[in-house]
Amino acid sequence: MKVSNQPWRRSIYPRCLFLLAFPLLLSLALASTASAQKKKKKDDTSSTTPLTSQVPEEQKIDTSIGEMLGAWQLGDVEKLHAHYADDVDVVNGMWAPPVVGWPNYLMSYQSQRARAQQVRLDRSNTLIRLAPGGQTAWACYQWEFSAVVDGVPTSAFGQTTLIFEKRNDVWLIVHNHTSLVQASQANSPQTPPAPASAPAKP
């Protein structure tokens, strides 16, 4: 009997030890896997966080103004509209009633932009402020405009105030107030400046 039991004991002991140790090994394996997944998730979230959420709102608005002015100079209506709300109202630098709504602004812009070539507009001294709540902001800046308007080299100086609203996480211009400070035509210094000949300012 002793001889016949020894092989059984030899085969059962390792199995028992394995079965006793298996839950411990499994829990260690699962714990290390869970730990690795948590670490990976933490690393993944830090690496996949959009950079735009880390950019200050003032910087987003400044970038938006730059893109809008670039589109304005190039005559790119689609990109220009991407920065203006459909219900925008615009006060231009001339003695005229406000332009209400994107379609009306677009009509005014296109009719005047068609008369100008070699358009250039430089912005300076930009000031941007966020209103409490972070859904409204305003920006003001000075600008210098130069172009050939109706065949005549023309330059103008002025300032603009923009009011922005954050809609669907995008800053849109809802109000544009532009003031013309000075306009001149290079070829006819004796002629009084004609601000109406310059395109509607952004």
31-71 pLDDT per residue, tens = 344 444 444 444 444 455 455 568 999 999 999 999 999 99
Q: What is the pLDDT of residue 190?
A: 42
Ranges of beta strands (E only) in the chain are 84-91, 99-100, 116-130, 136-149, 152-167, 170-185
Gap between the terminal Cα atoms of the chain: 104
Judge if pTM exceeds 0.85: no
Q: Which amino acid is at 113?
A: R
The one-letter code for the residue type at 6 is Q
What's the count of helices (H) and strands (E) in the chain, helices before strands? 4, 6
153 vs 34: which has the higher pLDDT: 153
Query: Which residues, in sequence order, are CB contacts of 101 under 8 Å at separation 6+?
Result: 86, 87, 88, 89
